[in-house]
Amino acid sequence: MDKTSYCSTTTINVASLVLQDIHASLHSFNILVEQLHPEAGKGQFEIVLGYIDCGRAANNLISTDEVIKGIARKHGLLASFTPRYHTNNVHLGSYADFSDDDVGSGSHVHIGLFKNGKNIFMASGEANRYGMSVIGESFMAGILDHLRSLCVFTMPISN
């Protein structure tokens, strides 16, 4: 779609019709888009969804994936969330000069932990090693303890 650099506003101009369609479709599903910005790869964007409870977040992630792929097809484009695993994924020069070995796409999740509207993930005045509350550290310990099992759901294909 384009060869501009990371976070270039030119990229948003080039893709504005596609992005407007995606945003409108997500809005129709009551999916909040908090942020959108161009990423490092050609035609790549990061769309940050608003924080909500886990069940709705999982549903929204699947719906967002389908909406993006459908809107891309409508515009004659291909949206892929499949990461590339080439050893030369990192380009030391200008992002505008990528060869066919452009950076890959993917999908990731931002995690927050809230109680009564208050972020309980971060430490609030208590001394600790990582800036997380005791509850936040326990939560992350659970994620790490169950990481193998979580990979079945978060990375269902070999690459």
Residue 152 in this model has a pLDDT that exceeds 70: yes
**Cα–Cα distance for residue pair 94/81, rounded to 1 Å:** 23
Average pLDDT over residues 47-59: 88
Closest listed residue to residue 34, CA positions, set 18, 21, 23: 23
CA 88 to chain centre: 22
pTM of the model: 0.73
**Cα–Cα distance for residue pair 49/34, rounded to 1 Å:** 5
- pLDDT (tens digit per residue) in 133-149: 889 999 999 999 998 88
Residue 85 in this model has a pLDDT that exceeds 60: no
Query: Using an 8 Å Cβ cutoff, are 38 and 44 in contact?
Result: yes
Residue 132 in this model has a pLDDT that exceeds 50: yes
Number of CB atoms found within 10 A of residue 70's CB? 13
**Cα–Cα distance for residue pair 61/58, rounded to 1 Å:** 5
Residue 100 has what pLDDT?
Answer: 53
Residue 71 in this model has a pLDDT that exceeds 70: yes
Query: Using an 8 Å Cβ cutoff, are 45 and 37 in contact?
Result: yes
Q: How confident is the model at residue 102 (pLDDT cuts 50, 70, 90)?
A: low
CA 50 to chain centre: 11
**Cα–Cα distance for residue pair 29/26, rounded to 1 Å:** 5
Residue 97 in this model has a pLDDT that exceeds 60: no
Residue 157 has what pLDDT?
Answer: 66
